[in-house]
Every structure is written in structure tokens, then in C-alpha cells.
Amino acid sequence: MNILRQGRRLCIFADEAGFDLQLYQNSRFDRIIKAKGGDTGVDMKARARTVMVAGFWVSDGSRFLVILLENTGVNQVTYCNKICKPFFRWFEGHYNEEECARFVFFQDSAPPHSANDTQDYLTGPATVQL
């Protein structure tokens, strides 16, 4: 099926990644000071906080970010409820009804994306799967 022949469609690309937020900027310098008997004031055993950032890029140049501050992994429930739902609410508010009805959503095959619950959420009566 050639989607380009069916008129203009918006293409949406989605992906997410986890990032560690450092508690201090120069950990090497802090270790050197501590090794020499100095006090950095930072607990060296403290763990950096992990955040999840999900990005959605629309083919017209629009983009939408979701930042999850919880230190949890992403499963199909988190992906649907905390990542996809906010994006689709934004998407429906920024595009007209015709554009919302005609888009192509691209995602990789990560387990939360390919889970049956996610596929059920992303497919509906008006969805065309390629």
C-alpha cells in the first residue's frame, strides 16, 4: 500500500530513552578532593535520579515531549497512559479533524510498543495498519 498516493498524511515518529541526572557537575573533581581528605558536601554514594523522556516528532516539524520523573521502567501501561495519551490529547488539539483521522504512527519494536494492550490502544475502528 502506497500511503503517499492517498493524499497528505502526517507521519509521527516516537521514541523514548532514560537519562541519569547527575547530583553534581564534576564528579572527578569531587573524588579528588575527597581522596585528599576534603569534604565536597555531596554524598558520594547518592544515586543519580533517572528520568524517562519520550519524544514525538510530526512530519510537519511539530514536536512533543513527555518527561516522566518517576524512577520506573516503561511497560505497556505506562506507555499508553503516561506517554501516548498526553501526546494524542495534544495532537487532537493542534490538528483539524481530517488530519487527526489520517496519520501514520511509527514506533520501534520495544516490548512496551509491541505488547497486545498497546496495540489494542493504538488501533481503533478508523485505524489502517500497514
Provide the pLDDT for residue 34. 58
The number of angstroms, rounded, from the C-alpha of 60 to the middle of its chain's C-alpha atoms is 19
Provide the pLDDT for residue 125. 46
Q: How far apart are CA 113 and CA 95, in angstroms?
A: 24
8 Å CB contact between 99 and 50: no
- The pLDDT tens digits of the residues spanning 14-69 come to 988 887 766 555 556 555 555 666 555 555 555 556 788 899 999 999 999 998 87
- The pLDDT tens digits of the residues spanning 86-117 come to 999 999 899 988 888 888 888 888 888 889 88
Domain segments of the chain as ranges: 3-122
Sorted by sequence, the CB contacts under 8 Å of residue 94 that are 6+ apart come out as 62
Closest by CA to 127, choosing from 94, 97, 105, 95, is 105
Model confidence, pTM: 0.69
Residue 82 cell numbers, joined:
503516561
